[in-house]
Structure 1
């Protein structure tokens, strides 16, 4: 019996060690990176230096697409306090973002009156993931790799990852708002 309990404890400790966050050296910060916007213009993320960012991979034909409205509400409520949302369209989950950049932009503006930045459609996981997502994985670990659309990465004013939130966590949830207010 003692031996079985000992093995169970060792297995449990091993599992927790696997899922811990990566200790980051941050050779680069979020603000050292760039990405193309929906109009194919380069966004130098240095312009967001000192702001808190919620980076969200999005899709127009997803069950979570209604979160666009909550992302806009969150942006409107906190933008004057140093907060921004950046939406990153991706077609890697269920083929739910097939549109061109123009179609994505029109959809977001028409249906949700989006005023926060939307980027070019990119890969957010795998070997062709955009540099931002590769940077996030390297510095914070696998919790930054989206498992589905509307996965969220919270980046603090120092350009480091503060936390991640899965697709099921609404942008206006107490959990996200509490974390944003803590780091603003």
Structure 2
């Protein structure tokens, strides 16, 4: 269950996810130098609109996809605050795939695997890049790119996985439905 996991904040403190019982949680691996980086804006809007209704956001910067989050935790925080006025908490930069992946991500991927990209201007380019590295890329639950989102309901169940190509309006509709 998600409440058994913890993550490290950008300030180096342990955040036990048990404190989010009864909340809807949006978990997203982010990067500051990605074509999807402008998604920080609608993610911040979600936080502003729904935090008081029970939404929490776990922003987990990750440098595993094209080296697009090269800065320190402080540099990443400053970038997001300056460019997107983010107010939601950021976690420590972490791996979401591979031998050093956060245990939280091992669990998330076991709950909702990869189910394809949505129609998007970057879809074909991402698929070609992934296929060049691994012909079986689409059959694995791994995180494929920055800004993959998981939505967890108030009972701690992973109810949705949105690839970075998903329309943020779909993410919002999912969150709205869970907040009631």
Q: TM-score of the superposition, structure 1-length normalised? A: 0.79
1:150 matched to 2:122? The reply is: no
Indicate the SS of the match to 2:37: coil
Q: 1:138: how far off?
A: 2.6
What is the rounded CA distance, in whole Å, between the counterparts of 2:70 and 2:167 in structure 1?
23
1:121-178: CA deviations, max 9, x gaps? 000012221011011123333456321000100111111100000101243x1x2222
Bigger Rg, structure 1 or 2: 1
What is the rounded CA distance, in whole Å, between the counterparts of 1:140 and 1:67 in structure 2?
21
Q: Structure 2: which 5+ runs fail to align?
A: 116-140
Match of 2:14 in 1: 42
- Count of residue pairs brought into register by the alignment: 154
What is the rounded CA distance, in whole Å, between the counterparts of 1:141 and 1:152 in structure 2?
12
1:133 matched to 2:105? The reply is: yes
1:178 matched to 2:150? The reply is: no
1:117 matched to 2:112? The reply is: no
What is the rounded CA distance, in whole Å, between the counterparts of 2:159 and 2:177 in structure 1?
11
Q: Structure 1: which 5+ runs fail to align?
A: 1-28
What is the rounded CA distance, in whole Å, between the counterparts of 1:168 and 1:154 in structure 2?
15
1:3-38: CA deviations, max 9, x gaps? xxxxxxxxxxxxxxxxxxxxxxxxxx1122100011
What is the rounded CA distance, in whole Å, between the counterparts of 2:167 and 2:51 in structure 1?
18
Indicate the SS of the match to 2:107: helix
Q: TM-score of the superposition, structure 2-length normalised? A: 0.81
RMSD, aligned CA: 1.3
Match of 1:9 in 2: none
Match of 2:134 in 1: none
